[in-house]
Amino acid sequence: MSMPSEVKMKVEDLSAFYASVRAVEGINLEIPDRRVTAIIGPSGCGKSTLIRCLNRMHETTPKARVEGRVLLDGDDLYELDATLVRRRVGMVFQKPNPFATMSIYNNVSAPLRFNGRPSRQEMDQTVVRSLKHAALWDEVKDRVDSAATSLSGGQQQRLCIARALAGDPEVLLMDEPCSALDPIATSKIEELIGQLKNDYTVVIVTHNMQQAARVSDFTAFLYLGKLIEFGPTGDLFERPKEHLTESYITGRFG
Amino acid sequence: MILDRHHRRQLFSHSMTVLSGLAIVVIMVPLIAVIYEAVVLGSPAFSFIFFTQRPALGCAPISGITCSLGGVSPAIQGTFVLLGLASLIAVPIGVGAAIFVVEFGGPIARVISTTADVLSGVPSILAGVFIYTILLQYDRALVFSYGSASLALGVLMIPIVVRTTEEALRTVPNSVREAALALGIARWKTGIRIVLVTALPGVVTGVLLAVARAAGEAAPLLFTLGNSCFHPFEGITQEGCALPLWIFQGATAPYQNWYTLAWGAALLLIVIILVISLTSRVVLNRLVRRMGGQ
Amino acid sequence: MSDANPFPPSSLRTPKRASKWGDRVFIVLTGVGAALVILSLVAFVVVLYVGAEASVKQFGLAFLTNRVWLPASENPNIPGNIHGVVPFAIGTLLTSAIALLIAIPLSLGAAIFLTQQAPQRLRAPVGQLIELLAAIPSIIYGFWGLIVLVPIMRYDIEPNLKSWLGWTGWFGGTPTGLDVLTASVILAVMVIPTITAISRDTIAAVPVSQKEAALSLGATDWEVTRRAVLPYARAGVLAGIVLGLGRALGETMAVTLVIGNENASPTSLLSHGQTIASLLANQFAESSGPLETSAMIEAGLILLVITLVINVGARLVLSRLQTGRGVGQE
């Protein structure tokens, strides 16, 4: 696959800290529009930290700090209001976290209800569309008012995806979205990611190399907080340029 | 019969078990005794008049003359007024402080938490002294009033509300906050419309617990409520009455009819406190079930 | 599946500036609540001190050692006002000490039974009954004490105690039922739920592995409790006892009705007495003048300081236990 014509997000010289500990150093990265970009690397390499900087969730941790810039379509995210950033850049977490006190419907419509005054019609349409985009609609269309916690783990994760999509983000970040799920649920979500990239830019952190190879168009390899290599997935896995990348891919560590 | 060492040890162990079981029985005795007396001595006072009229004039029993009882309506009114006002003071402050502690944290959060803990150990009579002393300087006319007594009760309720709300908020897992923030929901909306709402059963239970405790307090009222147990509620700047205060009055007065009324008030108070406790438990269960069993 | 860009609700597109202000108001309002909590404690101590100042200036350190409490109105033969807190300090400490003496074995026994021996189905109901014990207001215990306990003490228990234990010198005087002993008993009743609840929680938190280790060595149930469980739970139980002490020190209404209300140091368990709390309950409203009021506030301040220190100490121990030993939840 050739390099895309558009860059959706640009990370410039990003470093992120927890108190005085530097988790991520000097990252320069261009995330292509409407493609799936995977971030891989061994445990502790900073991939979660990096992705959380892209929607400014990193700073919700006490004593966390960021240096550098993150641009979304040219806008410096760290100059904007953080809540507005998070409406443009959505996130799905490792462990599904639907709002346990709300129904499926209320979960998906939450971004609308809490960020504006949507009409009933707007909510209905958005809920249906989002659940369809998340490949969950067929399974829940008869029980959208039942509790979100009545769904299975895989369904809950797709619910979280639907909820994130309902906010109409431009970018969807996924932080190891399948690591708490069984293989069948995992494959459903991987299939879903393939469809999502038609409409959204997707960035996915995964510790599973095979998953990255299956799902992504571009891959970034992180090691000890530094970006080692970035390129089209096929190229990175078959003809890695860096020795470190090759060692990781061939399983020599991590 | 000579017991070998093993059997002696077993015997000793069994007797200790019996003793500790006895301990529970002994502990239950005052509970049963108090409730029994309250029912036996208090229920004769119950009647429509009991709930709607003020007390009759005190009369010591002379043989042949039965005293009329009257009722404790001023005290009942007063208790509700007091609890309402005190809650109005304690709940916003207590819940607000707890939200601050949990959502913003930091070193000052521990100071606040510890302060609430410390405040919860203060002898309740000193709360009365505290408010009395302040109001004496500020406005003598207000010293004996519902307002003054509510402040004293509020001071006692705040620590309970803070601690129970804090616990309830902490049971909300961080993933909920993260999910909400990641959707671009503002911090204040996350804190209130999502976190607080999720923790609501625990918060409500805590408030009810504080109210139940305040309902039974007599000591803080001694120098802040004055004594108006023969007049209906006249205003929060006026002297007032409450059930625990009436019980104290009836217990220390030489009048037979007041004494019976006091037992009636005691029984009523126990019933009120039981109802509040049961309500809080029902609320907790129903809300927990409605919210998906968290 | 490639829809056109999902329906963007108009309500989302307009960036709301409000959120910044919302956040600011949020932190200010909750911060005010937090500040008021701290303020109320500070104000408590400050106001009480200011109220006590007149007395502090007049009596100085003698307040802590005087054994006499005589307002000017009472005894014209003794010059001026003499106020000393000793009678009430003794009353407070004595009643609390005896109350603990009675309460500790009972509470521990109950806690042990509830956690070790009691059948599973009994535990919750009994636990709730003990909570009920704690929920009954102090004034009602006092009232009951006055009507029921005092006559029992006066006619049945105290004469017997006097004849059996009179040789100890602690049971002098005529039994009236309105005395330090009765007050201690009532205090014990009120303190038992606190100690039982905390002891029960602490003992229940002892890891099963400790019990199993002792059992596997052939210990009897009691020996398991005594040698494996209780030592492990020692600090928590102690903290519970100290908290119970804190409660006993401040208990007012129940004590005031049965203690006899005499402003002198008790010479025996059967004498009338007075605690600091009951002094305030009894005489604050009928103070003979601003100096006496101030003296009573000073006594109250002393009580406050003692109870604060005890409570803080107990809670520190308890919290250190929870973070140190327990398998903490996140």
- Model-level pTM? 0.87
Residue C107 belongs to what domain range?
88-324
Q: Which residues of A touch C8 (CB under 8 A)?
A: 168
Closest CA relative to residue A231, chosen from A220, A243, A247, A242: A220
Which pLDDT value is given to residue C71? 67
Closest CA relative to residue C308, chosen from C265, C249, C239: C249
Using the Cβ of C18 and the Cβ atoms of chain A, whether some distance falls under 8 Å is answered with no
- Which CATH number fits the domain that encloses residue C275? 1.10.3720.10
For the cut 50, the answer to whether the pLDDT of residue C34 exceeds it is yes
Burial class (CB in 10 A: 0-12, 13-18, 19+), A227: buried
- Which CATH number fits the domain that encloses residue A82? 3.40.50.300
Using the Cβ of A81 and the Cβ atoms of chain C, whether some distance falls under 8 Å is answered with yes
> What's the number of CA atoms in the CB half-sphere (13 Å) around residue C92?
27
Contact in structure between C293 and C225 (CB atoms under 8 Å)? no
Is B189 domain-assigned? yes
Using the Cβ of C234 and the Cβ atoms of chain A, whether some distance falls under 8 Å is answered with no
Is B101 domain-assigned? yes
Q: Which residues of A touch C16 (CB under 8 A)?
A: 115-116
Residue B125 belongs to what domain range?
73-290
Using the Cβ of C311 and the Cβ atoms of chain B, whether some distance falls under 8 Å is answered with yes
Torsion, CA C245, CA C247, CA C252, CA C258, rounded to 10: -50
**DSSP-derived pairing of the beta strands A218-223 and A36-40:** parallel
Which pLDDT value is given to residue C9? 44
Most confident of A96-110, B223-237, C6-20, C163-177: A96-110
Is A104 domain-assigned? yes
Which pLDDT value is given to residue C320? 77
Structural domains of chain C, count: 1
How far is the CA of A99 from the CAs of A110, B159, C72, in angstroms? 9, 30, 69
Structural domains of chain B, count: 1
Q: What are C37's two structure tokens?
A: 């909590």
b/e burial code for range B129-168 (CB count within 10 A of at least 16 → b): bbbbbbbeeeeeebbbbbbbbbbbbbbbbbbbbbbbbbbb
Is C159 domain-assigned? yes
Residue B140, classed as helix, strand or coil, is helix
For the cut 50, the answer to whether the pLDDT of residue B127 exceeds it is yes
Which pLDDT value is given to residue C229? 85
**Mean pLDDT in chain A?**
91
Residue A251's region, left for phi above 0, alpha for psi from -120 to 50, else beta, is left
For the cut 50, the answer to whether the pLDDT of residue C327 exceeds it is no
High-pLDDT (> 70) share of chain C, %: 88
Is A185 domain-assigned? yes
Which pLDDT value is given to residue A160? 95
Using the Cβ of A150 and the Cβ atoms of chain B, whether some distance falls under 8 Å is answered with yes
Q: What is the pLDDT of residues A167-218, one digit of tens each?
A: 999 999 999 999 999 999 999 999 999 999 999 999 999 999 999 999 999 9
Residue A94 belongs to what domain range?
7-249
Contact in structure between C195 and C103 (CB atoms under 8 Å)? yes
How far is the CA of A76 from the CAs of A69, A222, B81, B259, C16, in angstroms? 6, 23, 56, 77, 18
Q: What are B103's two structure tokens?
A: 């959502």
Query: What average pLDDT does range A23-28 have in this prediction?
Result: 93
Phi and psi for A37 in degrees, rounded to 5?
Answer: -110, 125
Using the Cβ of B107 and the Cβ atoms of chain C, whether some distance falls under 8 Å is answered with no
How far from the centroid of its chain's Cα atoms is residue C133's Cα? 15
Using the Cβ of B198 and the Cβ atoms of chain A, whether some distance falls under 8 Å is answered with yes
The answer to whether A91 contacts B182, with C-beta atoms less than 8 Å apart, is yes
**DSSP-derived pairing of the beta strands A171-175 and A89-92:** parallel
Q: Which chain B residue's Cα is nearest to A56?
A: B182
Query: What average pLDDT does range C84-88 have in this prediction?
Result: 87
The more confidently predicted of residues A30 and C230 is: A30
Q: Which chain A residue's Cα is nearest to B196?
A: A101
Which pLDDT value is given to residue A5? 64
Is C78 domain-assigned? no
Q: Which chain C residue's Cα is nearest to B8?
A: C220
**DSSP-derived pairing of the beta strands A7-18 and A64-72:** antiparallel
- The string of DSSP letters for A4-29 reads PS-EEEEEEEEEEEETTEEEEEEEEE
ipTM of the complex: 0.91
- Which CATH number fits the domain that encloses residue B277? 1.10.3720.10
C163: confidence class by pLDDT, cuts 50, 70, 90: confident
Phi and psi for A30 in degrees, rounded to 5?
Answer: -120, 120
Residue C254, classed as helix, strand or coil, is helix
Count of CB atoms situated within 10 Å of the CB of C131: 13
Question: Based on C-alpha coordinates, what's the Rg of chain C?
Answer: 27
Residues 6 or more apart whose Cβ sits within 8 Å of residue B287: B200, B201, B204
The answer to whether A99 contacts B198, with C-beta atoms less than 8 Å apart, is yes
Is B8 domain-assigned? no
For the cut 50, the answer to whether the pLDDT of residue C329 exceeds it is no
Contact in structure between B31 and C132 (CB atoms under 8 Å)? yes
Q: Which residues of B touch C136 (CB under 8 A)?
A: 31, 34-35, 216, 270, 273
Instruction: List A9's β-bridge partners, or say none.
Output: A31, A72
Distance of alpha carbon A102 from alpha carbon A105, whole angstroms: 8
Q: Which of C11, C16, C28, C37 to mutate to test the interface with B (most CBs of B within 10 A)?
A: C37
Q: Which of C12, C13, C16, C26 to mutate to test the interface with A (most CBs of A within 10 A)?
A: C12
Is A2 domain-assigned? no
Distance of alpha carbon A46 from alpha carbon A25, whole angstroms: 9
Contact in structure between A51 and A208 (CB atoms under 8 Å)? no
Distance of alpha carbon A254 from alpha carbon C285, whole angstroms: 77
Is B24 domain-assigned? no
Structural domains of chain A, count: 1
Q: What are B196's two structure tokens?
A: 């607080």
Specify the long-range contacts of residues C259-262, CB closer than 8 Å, at least 24 apart: C259/C91, C259/C95, C259/C178, C259/C179, C259/C180, C259/C182, C259/C183, C260/C176, C260/C178, C260/C179, C260/C180
Distance of alpha carbon C297 from alpha carbon C49, whole angstroms: 8
